[in-house]
Amino acid sequence: MKKALTRPDRSDSNDASTYRVNERIRAQQVRLVGDNVENPGIYSLREALKIADALDLDLVEISPKADPPVCRVIDYSKFLYQQKKKQKEMKAKTVQVVVKEIRFGPQTDDHDFNFKLRHAEKFLQEGAKVKAFVFFKGRSILFKEQGEILLLRFATLLEDYGKVEQLPKLEGKRMTMFISPKKK
């Protein structure tokens, strides 16, 4: 009978495994830094652990590739919390690019065109990219010039709100064009 393969528990394993703490530090000597260390410098691992223990804190290896490795005397759980907080702030600062799609047929009527144009204006004002495409069904691929004219007309009417990132390009049964919002 074969033993079932089990996946190891990965809860917080990526945070906990990135830093070596206390007895998990392998180096013989470490460079000790930190606000609570009176004399920063190079210590043997045993001395550094005694200093951390005396302050009732943890010895955390910050830079393992340095020679000797850099360690800091801090509260490890508080340190992890601050690291997660920094990552969360960095993630919040990155701008998510939203792409809104607008679909046309090769013979889209004026009313439908204007309706989709107003939607595209709104999307561009909100800061989203617009992917406008003409979908050709069956034999309508014969009207690809009409589709290109439609997309170019769409782009010229949206010049005040955005700029064309990619001109109309035929890919299979779709002619696609990207418009990105103007920088404010």
- At the fourth CATH level, the homologous superfamily of domain 14-82 is Translation initiation factor 3 (IF-3), N-terminal domain (3.10.20.80)
* pLDDT given for residue 17 in this prediction: 60
Q: Write down the pLDDT at residue 117.
A: 94
- pLDDT, position 39: 82
Phi-psi region of 64 (alpha: psi -120 to 50; beta: other; left: phi over 0): alpha
Where in the chain are the domains? 14-82, 99-181
Mean pLDDT by runs of 10 across the 184 residues of the chain is 47 59 88 84 90 89 89 90 90 82 90 94 92 88 85 92 90 91 80
pTM, two decimals, is 0.51
What pLDDT does 133 receive? 92
Which conformational region is residue 131 in: left (phi greater than 0), alpha (psi within -120 to 50 degrees), or beta? Answer: beta
CA–CA separation, 164 and 150 (whole Å): 14
What confidence score (pLDDT) does residue 1 get? Answer: 45
Any idea which fold 99-181 has? Translation Initiation Factor IF3 (3.30.110)
145 in Cβ contact with 111 (< 8 Å): no
**C-alpha span between 60 and 125 (Å, rounded):** 48
CB 104 within 8 A of CB 134: yes
